[in-house]
Amino acid sequence: MGEDGQEMVMNMEWLESAYMVRQKDGALKIKFLSSDDINN
């Protein structure tokens, strides 16, 4: 809610930097490096 009591809608876009790591059992795991806000 905004300060005036009205509902607010926020749209956010971001860019994720990640890589995949193969585990000893053969499964893949995602490792996240960083997140960057790309809203204008």
Quick: pLDDT tens for 1-27: 677 888 888 888 888 899 999 999 999
Residue 1 placed within a domain: no
Domain count, the chain: 1
Q: Is residue 21 in a domain? A: yes
Q: What is the DSSP letter of 29?
A: E
Residue 29 lies in a domain: yes
Q: Looking at the whole model, is its pTM more than 0.75?
A: no
- Cα of 35 vs its chain's centroid, Å: 6
Q: How far apart are CA 2 and CA 13, in angstroms?
A: 21
- The answer to the question of residue 26 being in a domain is yes
In a domain, 35, yes or no: yes
State which residues form the domain around 32. 12-40
**Do the domain assignments include residue 6?**
no
15 vs 29: which has the higher pLDDT = 29
* The predicted structure's pLDDT at residue 40: 58
In a domain, 4, yes or no: no
Is residue 5 in a domain?
Answer: no
Report CA Rg, the chain: 18
